[in-house]
């Protein structure tokens, strides 16, 4: 079975550029989560969607970050403009809704902002 | 605010040497406690969900247990392929869908 698919796997870009990360959740899952992982702060939830609707974006660090989910099989996380402190691994996860269902993660996008 | 603390930060074992990882948590109304395994360059891989104190789950050499304040991941006779970072996460009653993760325990099993 196909798991959560993220692209690109690696992204290197210069400060000030726009970055778009993409995610395809597991078919049938109706909750989608974006996380950021760093050595200092571990895994942090940025935003999550239920049935394509953003439920909680309190983890989004600032207005430079935005996320969309135009349909059940696709989501994007955009950073504009990017800064070196945004360098991290960004993970997407999906699950069935219902509160305590396990989330299944993609293999992440390693983002480096120079 | 939900909080998760994992210990130790790193654990080195010899192959066959059993041990336990700890996950202490504070949460308002536990909906679930989750254990994940993460290999370098990969996303976290789901292992177990525990829902209530006293519950136990097993998978191969791993056994997870839960009390009202902490969870343990017991590793019996580990093998080098069990080397990974093990993450614990909780979901509280007021945080629908949201997981709070601990910092993880880096496990290294030497042959």
| Span A76-89, average pLDDT | 97
Residue A61 sits at φ, ψ, to 5 deg, of -65, -35
Please write down the HEC assignment for all residues of chain B. CCEEEEECCEEEEECCCCEEEEEEEECCCEEEEEEEEECCCCCCEEEEEECCCCCEEEECCEEEEECCCEEEEEECCCCHHHCEEEEEEEEECCCCCCCEECCCEEEEEEC
Residue B88 at interface with chain A, using a CB cutoff of 8 Å: no
pLDDT classification of B11: cutoffs 50, 70, 90:
very high
Q: How far apart are CA A32 and CA A23, in angstroms?
A: 9
Structure tokens at B45: 């891989």
CA distances from A65 to A19, A86, A110, A113, B74 (A): 10, 10, 16, 14, 39
Each residue of B12-54: pLDDT tens digit? 999 999 999 999 999 988 999 999 999 999 999 999 999 999 9
3 state DSSP class of A86? helix
| Better-predicted residue by pLDDT, B97 or A77 | A77
Split at pLDDT 50, 70, 90, the class of A100 is confident
**What backbone torsions phi and psi does residue A87 show, to the nearest 5 degrees?**
-60, 125
Label residue A50 left, alpha or beta by phi (over 0 means left) and psi (-120 to 50 means alpha). beta
Average pLDDT, stretch B56-72? 96
Rounded-to-integer distance, Cα B84 and Cα B39, Å: 5
Q: How confident is the model at residue B95, as a pLDDT?
A: 65
Mean pLDDT of A83-99: 91
Q: Cβ separation of B98 and A105 shorter than 8 Å?
A: no
Chain A residues within 8 Å of chain B (Cβ atoms): 4, 31, 33, 42-45, 48, 50, 55-56, 91, 93, 95, 97, 99-100, 102-108
Selection from A68, A58, A8, A2 nearest residue A32 by Cα: A68
Hey, are the CB atoms on A91 and B103 less than 8 Å from each other?
Answer: no
CB contact under 8 A, B101 and A56: no
CA atoms within 13 Å, Cβ hemisphere of B16:
1
The pLDDT tens digits of the residues spanning A1-50 come to 689 999 999 999 999 999 999 999 999 999 999 999 999 999 999 999 99
Contact B97 A99 (CB under 8 A): yes
């Amino acid at each position: 079975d196909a798991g959560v698919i993220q692209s690109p796997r690696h992204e290197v870009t210069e400060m000030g550029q726009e970055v778009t990360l993409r995610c395809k959740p597991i078919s049938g899952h109706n909750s989608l989560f974006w996380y950021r992982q760093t050595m200092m702060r571990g895994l942090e939830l940025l935003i999550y969607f239920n049935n394509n609707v953003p439920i909680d974006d309190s983890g989004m660090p600032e207005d430079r970050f935005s996320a969309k989910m135009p349909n059940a099989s696709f989501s994007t996380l955009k950073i504009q403009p990017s800064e070196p402190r945004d360098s991290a691994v960004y993970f997407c996860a999906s699950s069935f809704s219902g509160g305590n269902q396990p989330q299944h993660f993609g293999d992440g996008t390693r983002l480096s902002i120079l | 605010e939900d909080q998760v603390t994992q210990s130790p930060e790193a654990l080195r074992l010899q192959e066959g040497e059993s041990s336990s990882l700890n996950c202490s948590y504070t949460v308002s109304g536990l909906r679930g406690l989750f254990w994940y395994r993460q290999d370098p360059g990969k996303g976290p891989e789901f292992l177990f969900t525990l829902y209530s104190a006293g519950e136990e789950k097993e998978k191969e050499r791993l056994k997870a247990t839960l009390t009202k304040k902490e969870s343990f991941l017991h590793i019996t006779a580990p093998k080098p392929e069990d080397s990974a970072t093990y993450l614990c996460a909780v979901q509280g009653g007021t945080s629908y869908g949201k997981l709070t993760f601990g910092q993880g325990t880096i496990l290294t099993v030497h042959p």
